[in-house]
Structure 1
């Protein structure tokens, strides 16, 4: 009799275990993967993924990352058959171009009204929602400059001085969002004629155009070149690492753009995509962003960062993102015709 009871208990236990495995397996099968195209810095991607998936355990983010220009070109090339569900951490000037092409879904995330309106699409509902502002910054290696007898530049125009010949590296505007915001800013600051004249003079001093917004500051920090035109996130990180760099914020004004989030109109996972857009607009996500950025979309969340001036937001130049988007192809064609000879070879 006892053996029969034992067999029944064992049978019940086995059934319960099998049921538990079945439930676990079903849960795993129900997990939705969102394909997210991004130009976010790799330093930040894990924190966003971990934070979102903790709040949404039934969704998994799969990143496809590259520099801004390459992600933008990839999205435009896929226009007839888009692959991404969401775009996060891409330049607003690129997203404005995608919106003009009819590729984005208009959606107002939960909590949107808490965000600074100026850092999102002005349409309601918006096609893109800002995360942070990033802007041009010059990384100046004081040790290398002293060796070469180079003065510290204070303005963009200073960089056209022949004393800096071969001393400057800059991001390529076709592959780097930072490179494009520089070019767009100079054309808006001085007008097209004077803007191109300035870039002609600057080109004489450029050692190389590289395919990353971060790389020029890393190169300056490592002493490969005295001057790297970059942006404040990477400049702050390089300075914080102990490299002998000073951060220069040119007096004429800083070119800038906005990292933002958009939902692709063609996604078949709209409900999950909206949940990601909601989370990227949340205070929690903005607190992650504030680890590196001096200006974030959620008011009151940003904190002082080493090397970034307190009046940083006031240093941003006037910037028409829609103009930058509309004229992107024309500007990049002209830029390449003039300056591509000094471009770094593209990685395979």
Structure 2
């Protein structure tokens, strides 16, 4: 009887040891970039480290909601990519972990500033300006002028021809909302959005979906980050990207380690690895044309350059603040979302 108990105990111990050994080689990742880039990053990291990555692709707003809901029992180790505002909000609420990567010295100033302003609870991994992409063939067919400015999107001829994402789920759309508030002032921005709503055919869940739809000819214009429009052009679609004449905001795609991460050391390995120049230089292989945060990374020739775009001094701290974010999203729900087409 005693030997049976001993064998069972040893077997249980061996099983627990095997599980913990296996767990040391795991990483639970949420990726908020385009799925093609997410898969590429996952596969590269697994090949280089032999760490198994359990990846879920979610938009920035969805990820923030998930991380917040699971705060007492985190199921995610690291959150890579997606707009910086929800990363900043998670940082301000103590949902992410302070970490100063040894790679910080290699990063552009805007990426380091993102880290500093969050108390090193997030860091910039890429950047990209907001704008839109339009389908040249559709506009020509409908005899419509290509829109160069935010004001042009209110043209009655564009009724049903524009898509943008829902700012509750999409970091891209939240950046658009915050950008318009900063350019016009809040009340005038919401007056503009009500008029724009008449031309919106759909508020999508994903930030890049509107320009993919335009590429397929389902609508003429998608309000997106310009690099998402450029990626459609690179795939051979008749899409032209635009930086609005009045000025526009931009994103700092960010990365955060989740507080309470079960695989913390592997999360730090991903964090440092994802900031390396050679890793960021491969993003173009997935037709992702953001500006990399590492100063030594190759900037794709297709990438929209900040110096060619009229950028506003986007206030990441204010619009990443939980109260401000909640306030303007609730107003969008009341005044725009409730009457959306």
Q: TM-score range by the shorter chain?
A: 0.7 to 0.9
Alignment equivalent of 2:313, drawn from 303, 314, 318: 318
Alignment equivalent of 1:100, drawn from 88, 92, 102: 92
Q: Summarize deviations over 1:184-243 as a string: whole Å, max 9, x none.
A: 100011111221111122112212211111211111111111111122232112112222
TM-score under structure 1 normalisation? 0.84
Choose 180-189 or 108-117, whichever is displaced more. 108-117
Cα distance in 2 for residues equivalent to 1:283 and 1:305: 16
Cα distance in 2 for residues equivalent to 1:224 and 1:271: 45
1:290/1:302 contact within 8 Å kept: no
Where structure 1 has 5 or more consecutive residues not aligned to the other structure, the ranges are 1-24
Cross-structure match for 1:39? 32
Alignment equivalent of 1:56, drawn from 27, 49, 61: 49
**2:326 aligned with 1:333, yes or no?**
no
Q: Summarize deviations over 1:65-106 as a string: whole Å, max 9, x none.
A: 112211111112222322111111132211111111111111
- 1:270 deviates by 2.1
C-alpha RMSD over aligned residues: 2.3
- 1:312 deviates by 4.9
1:295/1:313 contact within 8 Å kept: no
Cross-structure match for 2:297? 301
- 1:131 deviates by 0.9
SS at match of 1:228: strand
**2:168 aligned with 1:171, yes or no?**
no
- 1:171 deviates by 1.1
Cα distance in 1 for residues equivalent to 2:120 and 2:222: 35
Superposition map of 1:141-290 within 5 A: 141-290=135-284
**2:106 aligned with 1:114, yes or no?**
yes
1:294/1:305 contact within 8 Å kept: no
SS at match of 2:115: coil
1:207/1:342 contact within 8 Å kept: no
SS at match of 1:130: strand
Alignment equivalent of 2:72, drawn from 77, 80, 84: 80
In the superposition, relative to structure 1, how do residues 122 and 312 fare at CA in structure 2: closer, same or farther (>3 Å)? same
In the superposition, relative to structure 1, how do residues 315 and 304 fare at CA in structure 2: closer, same or farther (>3 Å)? farther
Cα distance in 2 for residues equivalent to 1:301 and 1:285: 8
SS at match of 2:185: helix
SS at match of 1:103: coil
1:108/1:125 contact within 8 Å kept: no
SS at match of 1:98: helix
Choose 312-321 or 32-41, whichever is displaced more. 312-321
In the superposition, relative to structure 1, how do residues 156 and 333 fare at CA in structure 2: closer, same or farther (>3 Å)? same
Q: Summarize deviations over 1:254-290 as a string: whole Å, max 9, x none.
A: 2221221111121132222211111111112221235
Choose 260-269 or 288-297, whichever is displaced more. 288-297
Greater C-alpha radius of gyration: 1
- 1:316 deviates by 2.9
Cα distance in 2 for residues equivalent to 1:147 and 1:157: 22
In the superposition, relative to structure 1, how do residues 192 and 30 fare at CA in structure 2: closer, same or farther (>3 Å)? closer
Cross-structure match for 1:4? none
Cα distance in 1 for residues equivalent to 2:308 and 2:260: 36
Cα distance in 2 for residues equivalent to 1:309 and 1:32: 38
In the superposition, relative to structure 1, how do residues 81 and 142 fare at CA in structure 2: closer, same or farther (>3 Å)? same
TM-score under structure 2 normalisation? 0.86
In the superposition, relative to structure 1, how do residues 27 and 36 fare at CA in structure 2: closer, same or farther (>3 Å)? closer
